[in-house]
Amino acid sequence: MKQQQQLLLLILAFGVFSILNTEMGIIGILPMAAEMYQVDIVQAGLLVSLFALGVAIAGPTMPLLFSRFNRKRVMLLVLGVFTLCNALAVFASDFEVLLVLRVVPAFFHPVYCALAFSVAAASVAPEDAPRAVARINMGVAAGMVVGVPISNVLAATFDFSVAMAFFAGVTGLMFLLTMAFVSDLPVAQPMQYGAQLSVLKRPPVWLAIVAVICLNGSIFGVYNYLADYLQQIAALPGQFIAALLLVYGLLNIYGSYLGGNLLAKRPCATVRLFPLCTIVLYCLLFVSGGQLLLLAALIVAWGILGGINANINQYLLACVASDAPDFSNGLFLTAANLGCMAGTMLSGFFIRSLGLPFVVCGGLVMATAALLLTKFVHCQADERIGDEHLLLPDGTDR
């Protein structure tokens, strides 16, 4: 039984990797897409931004619509859609066709990811749920960092279409592995759509949504400008910047693993201390003045915090809406994407107003708001079960 659980978690983690690989891997080949399809880089950026918008829109709706169906079949459907669209993108003759082939699977992205989180948490004992979810987040982190350099190398060595074929190959492989090795996963007691939507009547759910927006904004709002910061403030060469960004991404994977263990042992302390650690990190970054050794150490800590952040985001909404896991995971995905957008806009405002060194101010504002919100959300969740406990993702008390 334990081997079956481990195999299921491994397939789910790699399945999420294949989905995120499709979403994020194209970032490394946007200039090549612009050259191939004779568009400017801003237009090519739509391949990323419209995908993210599709995920944000579909987050609360698509997982809800598919929550009543056999989970294995739904996962196969999503992987099939991704594989087909990626395969067709290899032969896309113009940019508009490629854009459509990117947007269509984006609406199915939250379905697979929400199911992966729900199935992972339900496949183990309640006390091990955070660790199981952390495995899935490791797949998310790997998809965000590994796919970019691989697609870049493939496109540079061969051409853009080979990189698109790589995306199709990974999702196609996961389709076959899921079909062969994942047992049938029927929904024993399907929840009515109205019952799942009713969780939105709870004030703690909305507080958790805003908290997740602030938490994700506090990390990605500053991280999205990190390359410019390293180039202009630290005056680092491009290859060194690429190496630091890769280190950051790899430490995200470790942070996801660490975050699962911390949430399983001391959930309240982990959630409450996280924004404070983020605030301290940004204060040190602001006074670092681009000093290389201090900057490298901060990026190491930042990468680990980024991995922990993803686990906390999912955990917060799982706590306050544990009776509707698929819907709550969809809300988490939407809130996380909105947080990335809001944090990037806020940090951009400080850059335009005060200059690039003040990019951390956006993260500080978001992290401070998250510090207050997470404490309040936890007070709501802990009201009847004590200060050092939280509701686990399946609704049981810890």
User: Position of tokens 């922990």?
Assistant: 308
3-state secondary structure of 384: coil
Q: Which residues pair with 397 in a beta bridge?
A: 391
pLDDT at position 2 is: 76
CB 264 within 8 A of CB 318: no
Output phi, psi for 397, to 5 deg. -90, 145
- What amino acid occupies position 36? M
CA distance 90 to 46: 18
- What's the burial of 162, exposed, middle or buried (CB within 10 Å: 0-12/13-18/19+)? middle
Reading the block at residue 24, the tokens are: 């994020």
pLDDT at position 385 is: 33
pLDDT at residue 118 greater than cutoff 80: yes
pLDDT at residue 352 greater than cutoff 50: yes
CA distance 118 to 108: 16
- What amino acid occupies position 264? A
Which residue spans of the chain are classified as CATH 1.20.1250.20? 2-181, 193-382
How much is the pTM?
A: 0.76
> What would the mean pLDDT of 277-305 be, rounded to a whole number?
89
- CATH assignment of 2-181? 1.20.1250.20
pLDDT at residue 388 greater than cutoff 60: no
pLDDT at position 190 is: 67
Reading the block at residue 134, the tokens are: 């952390």
Which one of 1.20.1250.20, 3.20.20.70, 1.20.200.10, 3.65.10.10 gives the CATH number of domain 193-382?
1.20.1250.20
* Nearest to 320, CA basis, from 217, 395, 211: 395
What helix, strand, coil percent values describe the chain, rounded to 5?
85, 0, 15
pLDDT at position 228 is: 76
* Nearest to 379, CA basis, from 250, 211, 234: 211
Reading the block at residue 50, the tokens are: 């419209």
Query: Could you count the other beta carbons within 10 Å of the beta carbon of residue 330?
Result: 31
CB 155 within 8 A of CB 34: no
* pLDDT category of residue 396 using cuts at 50, 70 and 90: very low
Largest pairwise CA distance in the chain: 60
